[in-house]
């Protein structure tokens, strides 16, 4: 076990890195009771906090990288310990020392892609807008209603390009004046920040902010709750304030105002999965449900862990880039819940959730038993 800066020094390092509240922990263990990890294997945030308090953090431990920053345990902590900030502070120390144990190693490659090409896949930056080819999408110019920021996953990942295309179709049918900035955009940086790479986050954020300002952007429409979170809650650290709207909120607004009309029904049983960064972190619970409830013929079923208690898909905090053993995937549990309540379709509105759920679906005995859909894909079918 390698501990960095024993005793007092690690405490100071964590404080410096923004995890100061860990000292209030009184070891009640509530965090471990609610943490999704303990449904699949042992993991103790309480223990991580305890070790940090004594400066005894094992900086090479894989446990440092488990927290998906799902936001569940901070809701239950009686002492206001900021578990996410404390955990990220420990990762900053590991990142600064270039320590990425075993399965965490891909984060190095991801960082290279983000640094060089502005996306975690190390795909060419010049191909960032290829998803929009043939869809007649305009380049954003000042005065348009919204910039549509499609994020890295919707720009490059084949499954998610369909979600970007559905979004474009909807915006056009609703008469929204929108544009994209394609290769001028970079990854929002939310997830790499949670791996402790603050420097890279700052670079990505500053590049995006410059692009937004240079192009006269005021309102940004996003498909990813991770982009939503960082644009809305983290970019203001750079003294900017863009109006940010998540697609589930925007669809709700377009339908409520009559700009978007649903002309067909949807006779299926569906359940909605709250992505951590839309729901728990940002309070977007009602809009997607109201959209779904408003569809004729639909039956909306709720899973056991819902809204504030939603079960994380496992993709936050940089874990979307880490291979999780099959027996430890939260997304497998989520699919079991969806199937268990009788849903035919598991609907969500986050590229990480879709990625993890599609992976889990493929390992079902019968993958046809459940469809995984982004809410935009459902709406596109009905207009």
Q: Does residue 127 interact with ligand SF4 by CB under 6 A?
A: no
Report the distance separating Cα 257 and Cα 323, nearest Å: 43
Report the distance separating Cα 138 and Cα 16, nearest Å: 44
Q: Does residue 77 interact with ligand SF4 by CB under 6 A?
A: yes
Cβ closest to ligand SF4, residue 30 vs residue 268: 30
Q: Does residue 45 interact with ligand SF4 by CB under 6 A?
A: yes
Q: Does residue 229 interact with ligand SF4 by CB under 6 A?
A: no
Task: Indicate which single residue of 4, 10, 13, 35 sits in contact with ligand SF4 (rule: CB under 6 A).
Answer: 35
Among residues 338, 317, 154, which one has the least CA distance to residue 247? Answer: 154
Q: Does residue 71 interact with ligand SF4 by CB under 6 A?
A: yes
Block residue for tokens 């002492």: 79
Q: Does residue 73 interact with ligand SF4 by CB under 6 A?
A: yes
Cβ closest to ligand SF4, residue 45 vs residue 114: 45
Report the distance separating Cα 74 and Cα 70, nearest Å: 9
CB of 344 to ligand SF4, least distance (A): 29
Binding footprint of ligand SF4, residue count (CB under 6 A): 27
Q: Does residue 25 interact with ligand SF4 by CB under 6 A?
A: yes
Which range touches ligand SF4 (CB under 6 A), out of 44-52, 89-97, 253-261, 281-289? 44-52
Cβ closest to ligand SF4, residue 119 vs residue 230: 230
Cβ closest to ligand SF4, residue 54 vs residue 238: 54
Task: Indicate which single residue of 17, 63, 72, 360 sits in contact with ligand SF4 (rule: CB under 6 A).
Answer: 72
Q: Does residue 173 interact with ligand SF4 by CB under 6 A?
A: no
Burial class (CB in 10 A: 0-12, 13-18, 19+), 347: buried
Residues 6 or more apart whose Cβ sits within 8 Å of residue 335: 346, 357, 360, 361, 364, 370
Task: Indicate which single residue of 2, 8, 9, 29 sits in contact with ligand SF4 (rule: CB under 6 A).
Answer: 29
Task: Indicate which single residue of 17, 68, 95, 248 sits in contact with ligand SF4 (rule: CB under 6 A).
Answer: 68
Report the distance separating Cα 309 and Cα 64, nearest Å: 23
How many Cα atoms sit within 13 Å of 263 on the Cβ side? 8
Q: Does residue 318 interact with ligand SF4 by CB under 6 A?
A: no
β-bridge partners, 180: 139
Which uninterrupted H or E stretch holds 84?
Answer: helix 83-96
As a whole number of Å, the end-to-end CA separation of the chain is 58
Q: Does residue 308 interact with ligand SF4 by CB under 6 A?
A: no
Q: Does residue 54 interact with ligand SF4 by CB under 6 A?
A: no
β-bridge partners, 278: none
Report the distance separating Cα 251 and Cα 262, nearest Å: 11
Positions touching ligand SF4 (CB under 6 A) are 25-31, 34-37, 45-46, 49, 67-73, 77-79, 81, 83-84
């Amino acid at each position: 076990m390698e501990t960095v800066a024993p005793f007092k020094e690690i405490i100071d390092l964590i404080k410096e890195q923004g995890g100061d509240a860990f000292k209030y922990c009184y070891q009640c263990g509530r965090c471990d009771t609610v943490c999704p990890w303990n449904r699949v294997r042992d993991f103790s945030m309480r223990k991580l906090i305890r070790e940090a308090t004594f400066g005894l953090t094992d900086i090479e431990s894989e446990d440092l990288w488990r927290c998906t920053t799902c936001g569940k345990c901070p809701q239950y902590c009686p002492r206001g310990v900021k578990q996410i900030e404390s955990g990220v502070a420990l990762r900053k120390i590991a990142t600064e020392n270039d320590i990425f144990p075993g399965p965490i190693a891909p984060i190095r490659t991801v960082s290279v892609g983000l640094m060089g090409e502005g996306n975690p896949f190390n795909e060419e930056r010049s191909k960032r807008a290829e998803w929009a080819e043939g869809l007649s999408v305009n380049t954003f110019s000042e005065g348009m209603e919204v910039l549509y920021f499609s994020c890295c996953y919707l720009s490059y990942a084949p499954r998610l390009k369909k979600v970007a295309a559905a979004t474009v179709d909807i915006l056009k049918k609703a008469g929204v004046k929108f544009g994209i900035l394609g290769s001028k955009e970079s990854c929002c940086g939310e997830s790499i920040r949670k791996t402790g790479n603050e420097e890279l986050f700052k670079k990505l954020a500053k590049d995006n902010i410059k692009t937004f300002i240079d192009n006269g952007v005021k309102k940004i429409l996003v498909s990813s709750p991770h982009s939503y979170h960082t644009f809305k809650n983290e970019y203001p650290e750079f003294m900017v304030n863009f109006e940010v709207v998540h697609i589930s909120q925007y669809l709700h607004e377009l339908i409520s105002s009559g700009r978007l009309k649903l002309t067909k029904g949807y006779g299926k049983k569906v359940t909605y999965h709250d992505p951590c960064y839309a729901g728990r972190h940002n309070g977007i619970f009602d809009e997607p449900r109201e959209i779904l409830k408003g569809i004729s013929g639909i039956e909306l079923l709720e899973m056991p862990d819902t809204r504030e208690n939603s079960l994380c898909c496992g993709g936050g905090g940089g874990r979307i880039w880490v291979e999780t053993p099959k027996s430890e995937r939260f997304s497998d549990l989520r699919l079991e819940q969806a199937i268990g309540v009788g849903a035919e379709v598991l609907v969500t509105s986050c590229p990480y959730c879709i990625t993890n759920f599609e992976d889990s679906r493929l390992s079902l005995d019968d993958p046809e038993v459940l469809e995984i859909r982004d809410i935009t894909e459902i709406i596109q079918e009905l207009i």
